[in-house]
Homo-oligomer: A and B are copies of this chain.
């Protein structure tokens, strides 16, 4: 597959139509070789810079690398965040680096399935490592990160108490912590704080590519520890919910919503009826 046909296949996956299911079925037997690595953490931790530095390091090791950047901003105000990705342009002429930006969708469970299907395309296309960068925090990011084989949580010192909540939400899915901006005040304190959890920690200054090779080593070491069965349990449940919802006729849902809103019928009776079909 050349870059153009890979990009086309990714677009098919994002469309979530019948064509995507057919293409996935065709590509599935060729997948299963890539290491899908989620890179997540709060805004401002330096994820994009770290991802760019990791791509450079992986290329130095002869790997083919793909990046899926999941962007929570709408098309209206996405400029600032897209700007972060400009540094990725350095890989523009390298056919062994493929970069794809994905926007979040409003529809329930819409992002994680599309992201996973794009990763499967890139896996089948022969990329060795697929870096899945998610911006921000929340259930959506957790869902996306769950679909990765290995999850790296990037933090930086001096982000205040707000980081508490963020850390809490992603602690349970972290396989590796990276404390980026490790040359800044508070890095040692953050490291002490994070060492309470039974997760390895790497220190980086991604803007200068410092500490990035050890991150790539640690990630490679985690590949063998990933549990593909657990991964597919999540994925199958998610696919099932997505496909079940896709079968609901929107007119039927609208009419049912009208009756429930008018208290003509309770929602539980309606759901039971749908599940009996």
Contacting residue for A169 out of B72, B228, B230, B274, CB 8 A: B72
In the assembled complex, how far is the CB of residue A264 from the closest CB belonging to chain B, in whole angstroms?
10
Given that A169-B74, A233-B257 are known contacts, is A240 also in contact with B271, CB under 8 Å in the complex?
Answer: yes
- CB of A73 within 8 A of CB of B256, answer no
Query: CB of A108 within 8 A of chain B?
Result: yes
Contacts of A169 in B (CB 8 A): 72-74, 104, 136
A17-56 to B contact mask, C-beta < 8 Å, 1/0:
0000100110011001000000000111000000000000
List the 3 closest A-B pairs by CB distance, nearest first.
A138-B138, A139-B140, A232-B257
In the assembled complex, how far is the CB of residue A72 from the closest CB belonging to chain B, in whole angstroms?
5
Query: CB of A172 within 8 A of chain B?
Result: yes
Given that A161-B80, A165-B136, A261-B232 are known contacts, is A275 also in contact with B240, CB under 8 Å in the complex?
Answer: yes
21 CB-based A-B contacts, threshold 8 Å: A24-B268, A28-B267, A29-B266, A32-B263, A44-B162, A72-B165, A74-B169, A76-B168, A76-B171, A77-B167, A108-B143, A108-B238, A136-B169, A138-B140, A228-B261, A230-B257, A236-B270, A237-B253, A239-B268, A239-B271, A241-B241
Contacting residue for A236 out of B109, B141, B230, B267, CB 8 A: B267
